[in-house]
Chains A and B, each alone.
Chain A
């Protein structure tokens, strides 16, 4: 059988074809720091570190993407928010930069050129592109205009705003969309192959479908249409089944799946309209044995792999720092052993 490079493998699968094997993304944003012997804060302080970390991880685990994503609160830092670093986890956002919803009236999007953290992401993407050319997909990430307010305002204040202040909600979406489109297109210009549209608030885990349809769905449709490259939507461990048909209509090509949903059921609901990415449980993964890891990978492949349209990954889009290298290696070994197309009964646990 023809051997594919990572770009060909991923594109074939997203085209609902079976390449040589199931593609897989190890979205280990922090493990590069371990590879370089650095702490998390120091690792994220330079684009050269992150690019080197990503390249080493791919060489070690033979997975099918590189990621220019550093961490989510970099976006909120650009809006004047605070980033809090931890020694053993991803940086977190601190107090929301908007003290009150009324501040939305005067809100303007930050300029990309003024945001040093975002510039570091763009520099990372350029380095990754320089090193990998067109052989490997490079992922860029944006927080959706609809989900960013969780960090801009705080979750409870945002839910109150959604229900009670349609005027301020609309203005906030307009401002956030301008930023999101610029940020996504800048990442594509810097070398990203595709953009992950991170939209956890869209999930039926967080909002009723009816409310999403009149709010976040419209925002996604408008925003994705202005992003000049392919997109995949990630709900960050949230369920997607209840809005599958809406997600397909946003123009996204793929969706990240929660470990709380059955992969076979989601694959069936996607029905060739969307590819699916997931859904290994990143939190549990921390304590999997090699045997359990292999069984989980085989189960996911057996449920999602047939006919392509499937990329194996974790369920959140960010593998926890605590997941040991042995587990990542066991995932890789299992995909390379049991993920070869055509899948056989031996692929299933």
Chain B
């Protein structure tokens, strides 16, 4: 197997250059299984690209296209039935009361590239979101918002989920949370991440917490 550091550097260059062919070649030469490549290469590289965006060193368009390239390659490589996907507590992604979907799109790409199973709820109003979380027994919910008014609605979402007795770990993201570092606590979320890839380590921690609660 190629040196992991070198592999990651090569892949990052390929992704930021929007080079799908090089990405495929790097995978083939790695000698890794698709899930091994997703975990050991895609995830740290997407995380690094996300960090660079947060620092202003790369652009959102590069974050978006990088995620799409990784997602698309993994979709090709993994068996259609998804038997190699990670087993997690039921998890869903939604945009709350907004038509701006880019943040969710990037998050879905990162999750798919990481081999996570989840349901994409798409755009949701508060009522319909609570209903779906209930009916599908969702334990981890990732909510993306763009407008401040939508971000503040998460407070009501948290209240409704709690009132319904639903034990849901809530991760929030989007511009309002990037511009106000304490907003996620104010609305009662369990966590936030300034980048989609940064949500992965949070998900891993929350999966462990959910599993502990199930014991």
Residues of chain A touching chain B, judged by Cβ–Cβ distance below 8 Å, are: 84, 86, 88-90, 92-96, 154-156, 159, 162-163, 204-208, 211, 237, 239, 241-242, 259-261, 281-284, 286-287, 315, 320-322
- The residues of B that contact A287 with a CB separation of less than 8 Å are 180
Instruction: Tell me, yes or no, whether B105 is within 8 Å of chain A by CB.
Output: yes
Q: Are B65 and A208 interface neighbours, CB within 8 A? A: no
- 9 shortest A-B CB distances, which residue pairs? A89-B149, A283-B179, A155-B102, A283-B180, A208-B59, A88-B149, A206-B60, A156-B105, A284-B180
* Minimal beta-carbon separation of A337 from chain B (angstroms): 26
Q: Which residues of B contact A156 (CB under 8 A)?
A: 64, 101-102, 105
Q: A259 touching B18 by the CB < 8 A rule?
A: no
Q: Which residues of B contact A260 (CB under 8 A)?
A: 56
Decide yes or no: A284 and B179 within 8 Å by CB, A92-B98, A155-B102 being known contacts: yes
- A93–B100 Cα distance when bound, in Å, is 9
Which of B60, B62, B65, B105 counts the most chain A CB atoms within 10 A?
B60
* Interface residues of B, Cβ cutoff 8 Å to A: 18, 53, 56, 58-62, 64-65, 98-102, 105, 147-150, 152, 175-176, 179-180, 183
Are A163 and B179 also in contact (CB < 8 A) when A92-B147, A206-B59 are?
no
Residues of A with C-beta under 8 A to B101: 154-156
Interface of B is mostly: helix
> Considering the chains assembled together, what is the distance between the CA atoms of A90 and B179 in angstroms?
17
* Docked pose: A281 CA to B58 CA in angstroms: 22
Instruction: Give the distance in Å from the alpha carbon of A204 to the alpha carbon of B54 in the complex.
Output: 11
Q: For A154, give the chain B residue with the smallest CB separation.
A: B101
- Complex: how many Å from CA A205 to CA B53? 7
User: Is the beta-carbon distance between A207 and B59 smaller than 8 angstroms?
Assistant: yes
Residues of A within 8 A of B147 (CB): 86, 89-90, 92
**Contact call B59/A237, Cβ cutoff below 8 A:** no
Which chain A residues lie closer than 8 Å to B148 at the CB level? 89, 283, 286, 320, 322
* Assembly CA distance A242 to B148 (angstroms): 27
A84, A96, A159, A315: the one contacting B65 at CB < 8 Å is A159
B105 → chain A closest CB, angstroms: 5
The contact sample of 13 A-B pairs, CB cut-off 8 A, is: A156-B105, A159-B65, A204-B56, A204-B59, A205-B59, A206-B60, A242-B56, A281-B180, A283-B179, A284-B180, A286-B180, A287-B180, A321-B149
Residues of chain A within 8 A of B180, CB atoms compared: 281, 283-284, 286-287
**Closest A residue by C-beta to B64:** A159
If A95-B99, A283-B148, A283-B180 are given as contacts, then 17 extra A-B residue pairs at C-beta distance below 8 Å, sorted by A number, are A86-B147, A89-B147, A92-B100, A155-B100, A155-B102, A156-B101, A163-B65, A205-B59, A207-B60, A207-B61, A208-B62, A211-B59, A283-B183, A284-B179, A321-B149, A322-B148, A322-B149
Complex CA–CA separation, A84 to B59 (angstroms): 29
Chain B residue with the shortest CB-CB distance to A260: B56
How many angstroms between the C-alpha atoms of A284 and B178 in the bound complex? 10
Report the minimal beta-carbon distance from A263 to chain B, rounded to whole angstroms.
Answer: 15
Let me know if A94 and B59 touch, CB within 8 A: no
When distances are taken between beta carbons in the complex, the residues of chain A under 8 Å from B105 are: 156
Known pairs A281-B179, A281-B180; A159 contacts B149 (CB<8 A) = no
Q: Chain B residues with Cβ under 8 A from A89's Cβ? A: 147-150
> Taking CB as reference atom, which chain B residue is nearest A87?
B149
Taking a contact as CB atoms under 8 Å apart, the answer to whether A84 and B61 are in contact is: no
What CA separation (Å) do A261 and B56 show in the bound complex?
9
Q: Which residues of B contact A95 (CB under 8 A)?
A: 99
| A285 and chain B: residue at smallest CB distance | B180
Across-interface contacts of B150 in A (CB, < 8 A): 89
Chain B residues near A259: list those with CB within 8 A.
179
B18: chain A residues within 8 A (beta carbon) = 163
